[in-house]
Structure 1
Amino acid sequence: MKTTESLNILFISLLILIIAQTIQSQNNPDENIQPGKAEIILIARADKDSVVLRWAPSTAGGWIIANKIGYNIERVKVNSENANAPVNFEKLNSEPVKPLSIEEWKKIASKDNIFSAIAVQAIYGKLFTPKALDENNLNALKNAADELMNRYSFALFAADNDAVTAQAMGLRWVDKNVREGESYAYRVYVAQKTDEYSFDTAFVFADIKPADKVPAPMDLTFESGDGNITLKWKDNPLVKFSGYYVYRSEDGKNFIKMNEMPLVIATPKEAKEDAQPSFVDTLTVNYKNYSYKVYGVTPFGELSQSAEITAYSKDLTAPFPPILEKPKQFTADKISLSWKVEEETDDLKGFVVARSNHPLYNFEILTPTPLAKNVFSYTDKIPQENEIYYAVASVDTAGNMAFSLPQIVIPIDTMPPSIPKGISGTIDSNGVVTLKWNLGPEWNLLGYRILRANDPQHEFQQLTGEIYQDTVFVDTVNINTLTNYVYYRIAAVNMRYQHSELSPVISIKRPDKIPPVEAVFKNVFVTDTSVFIEWVPSTSADLAYQKLLRRKQGDSDWKMIDSLSANVSSYTDTKVEKTITYEYTIISVDSSGLKSPFAFPVFGRPYDTGRRESVAKLTAKYDDNTSSVILNWDYLNPPNEKYWFVIYRGTDNNKLMELKSVDGANKSYSDKEIVKGKKYFYAVSVMTSMGGVSDKVVTAVTIPEK
């Protein structure tokens, strides 16, 4: 059962069926015609006081059968407030709706109604049918099927374009017994069942309200031809038209219909998109303005509002082309052109000269302002090209151009190609070099030659025997070498085998696989506070820096004490201890981060002079409370060995005797064995477990009598 709820379903129209469906059915009739079954396609257009129904069966055979039986139309009011109310359809027709007889048709249709004439012929015209189905009349049967399809198509075309005709064909019904604001459901079906065909029942809904005007076709444009104008437009998305009428006016007021029959746009079945509607007016005068109106025709036979445009045609006929003679080179950089015109047109404006490096395209206009029509020569400066092509065109007042056949010029002396630019290169860890450069601007460029050397001062050797026709080149070089760089140069070659100058040298650093050689120590000097070492740095050219390492004799681990630049060849180590033997070595590092073996180590042992730092700020004060002399001192830089303080006393500075020894942790001493009234001299010196001794520091104090 077929239910149609949209009010904008496209009805079947004339040429769509004739061109698309009929041609397809000739190849495979069963694909489009399904004998024994048809659908009823139903649409409706509601207004405030009526509903117009239009329908048609979906097959030609179904149309023939339904014409004989007729249709029933039924209606039911839609109750939106009670969706569960029983549905009772009311039959609107008393007798089955079917085509009028010819006599009845004559009473309602005017004599000049061509659509009624088409429909009557389609329904009642004589149809050829073969008498028997045998081998000799299969073609006749096929022709009859084709004729039936054509009758069906023409009949529906007529119904789509004229309401009177559709009514007379039994394919239209107007229900005027409606009330504004209500909704109705309609159904149409063939009046009785038949063994020959089965038909679905069609449904459609209608809301009773004022109808909108049918919108006009959209996006009306024009293309100016020579003596003709092509109009193009698009369907309005709110409506699908069955056909179109085009009207034209020369004064903008009085319009004349350009097509007596509706213009139908056929879209082949295999097309992915609908064909764009268009109309060609071939009866125009160039540059004269014409006003056009385009109306769409709906399946209800209604005309849409008009789309309007003003258009004109124009002169597109080019003048006769000139005949270009052989160009002549009369100086090193000048070419002379001359031409003639065998037949001159009245609207000839002048000539333009064009030049290219190819005989078929890329022509550049050398004279943007056309030369006068009485000028037949031109002088051009020779461009830097191997081959030059010239053409001359006639230009009329409308801007139409007609070119001569091109003529070639091969300059006597051409320039070599430009030096290759934008050269860059990379190399990977396997020694594969990739060179890239910009393509030269010359159209006659043939290719390139690539050259290589291991020293920029040496002669470069060509790597390509033939001209290399690319801008990317891959080379492989040895990386197990002390030569750090590989060098390249490139030359461009044109089709006349003229070479450019060689490009500037591009240097590419080889990946460093060879570590630097190690440094060699020359001298070691020691003092009691330092070790001075001297060496010959690594001789590798890519030496980046040096790591100086040290360890105490007997230790297994080296510690880096400094990182030195590549040109440093000596070092003084002051962070040492006396009598400790130190080992020194160097690791050389190159610019690739590769490291040399350890340099053969050297040894240095700071010696001990026996002298130690003396105490500072020694004071001696008599304490009356304790009747003793209090000594205090500082020791700012104690040695890295066990040490103690030795205290001396005497009554004469030159005859000091050892009084006491105290631990290095003490910085004071109290002397109670004193005699009042005497003057005492005190001294403090440092002694160490390794035999070191400092100078004495002397001070004096006088003991009061009381």
Structure 2
Amino acid sequence: MKVLLSILFTGMMLPALAWQQPKTNKVVKPAAPPPQQLPAKKVLMAGRALKDRILLRWAPDDPNAWKLCNKYGYAIERYTVARDGKALPKPELLKGDGIIRPQELEKWDSVMLERDDYAAVIAQAIYGETFGMEMGEQGAQNILIQAGELEQRYTMALYGADHSFRAARMAGLGWLDAKVKPNEAYFYRIRSLVPPAIMNIEPAVVYISLKDHYPLPAPRLSKVDFGDKIASVRWNFKTQRTLYNSYYVERSENGKDFKSITDKPYTNMTADDAKDAEMLTYFDTLQHNDKKYYYRIRGVSAFGEVGEPSNVIAGSGLKSSGVNPFITKALPSKKGYTVYWDFPDSLNDAIVKFSLSQASSMNSTYASLIDSIPVGKRSFEFDPGIVSYVQVEVLERGGEIRRSYPFMVQPEDSVPPSVPIALKGRIDSTGRVYLDWSRNAEKDLMGYMIYRSSSLNNEFSLVQDTAWKGNSFIDSISVNSLNREIYYAVAAVDRRYNQSKYCQPLLLLKPDVIPPSDAVIAGYELNDHGIRIRITPSSSKDVVKHVIYRKNINGMNQWEKIKDTMSSAKEISYMDSIKAGGNYAYTVIAVDSSSLESQPAQPLTVYIPVKVRGKINELKLGVDRQLREIAVEWSAMAENGMIKSFELYRGGDKQKISLYKVIDNRTATSFADKDLLVNTKYTYGIRAVFSDGGYSDMQVKTVVY
């Protein structure tokens, strides 16, 4: 995980600044930039997992953004995205308590300031009336002075926050979450509450869990050079800059009892991207040359934690002649280059030999090229091979080695490295991407540029803006997106910044945590064979099947799977050859290649009528004018046991036949119709109604009354 902004500052003790009550708390509202004219500012954030809590640190990447955020504050949100090693279908949101902003001046009490010098630095940066700059100038000069003061306040506030987590929290730049569980994983998002109309500031996110806890490792002390009552303590600053931003230098006179010789953590004073910022050097003055001293270092993280001590390097001061060789020039020659240097001939008797060493950068470790050059020589021919720095060293008879200032030798080189091969990788369920490839063989290889894209049709973008030294890389991406495909490519770059072409892009599939979109029941048709259901399938690309369910609404009211269909057509048609009548509901679920299911489609309810079966065997009509009635008689059916009732239909001369009477007696075989008109022709029909809702065919006859 990348650290916050690297706050580059001197390692000297920073005195607590004098308090000055601000005259006003007003913040000048800058004019809104024209759309798409200025790039958005960002909030950068880092997380640190302890055994039972998670610490967060953040900071805007711009002084003006920091000033506005101090006024409007921040909002923090925590999303629980995984539990017991499984991604949650829906992240659980927990919002922070209110608006996070610097605490009021009254809360930065004197006890806190006496106990924490960094708190005093931050408080002065936020609330101090002035910050070490004269404000008497007018016009453009005054604007420049104010801009410089804001830059100083911003730098000092972030420097103090990097060395005191408690002060960082008071300054609205840190947060502690103790409501965490060891079986859960979280996304934290910090966002600025500055209105976008004033300044557009992008939020920051961090993925972390308690399982990410690790003890801070011991840094590596590279070397200690001893001179005449002086020791030069050197270590690599860049190799562990993601862990430590400053260091304590410790010394011991017996190899056991170490004490810090830097009151405050020591860090580099140059720009973070400078080539000579790779190594840090601390000079210690020795009281004696004939006494052995032991040195080690401890790193300090952005959360104010102090790591384990480094390895120990010991030595003693050496009496020196006080003269260093000086490289004057390096000229092309038959074998490569000839290096020329100056050293007084009068001191030849005081030295043992010259030697020549080489390094890939000015402050990296120098390797010996030629170990022994006669004391009378002042030049040497060699083949540098690649762009490099050389040093001439002189070994004095007292054992002290004195070195020249590094001199760059730069052969012409326009040939890029070979294209990296054998790129492979994988993505785990949390979105971490693991890549590795075969290492290039070029001696002047500086590293690799890693590129990423969501499509082969889109331009690849750099994952990080500096060359990656190794041939394996871990990236982090969001798995909660609809696009599952992601492509990676790697290019090699040498120390002359000649870059190879991309390797063959590698396609990786994100783990599937998003269910497919819902299918839709588009319609249905009833026919003699049953019911045909028409389905519009899910639009998700990774759907492998659709599962159709049915339930009898009048029955057990439980869904029953009736069909798995693998069809990829734009519309799916399914014939349900159901014979029984009644009310039925249908729905469908889409299932993707990761066995994730969509929500059920809106159910379709259909009434399926029972088919006509059987017929009353005989219908008789008898006219009795004395009783003034028509006797309607019929014969029983074979399905008599299932008959629920009879339906009697009647029609006249000018009336169509329609339902006339419902006879609820299932054993009835006759009916007397007395509601009659003389000289009228009547048509009668009779059919049986069954208990399951079906009915028989109708028997029809006509008579004249």
For normalisation by structure 2, the TM-score amounts to 0.40
Which structure has the larger Rg?
1
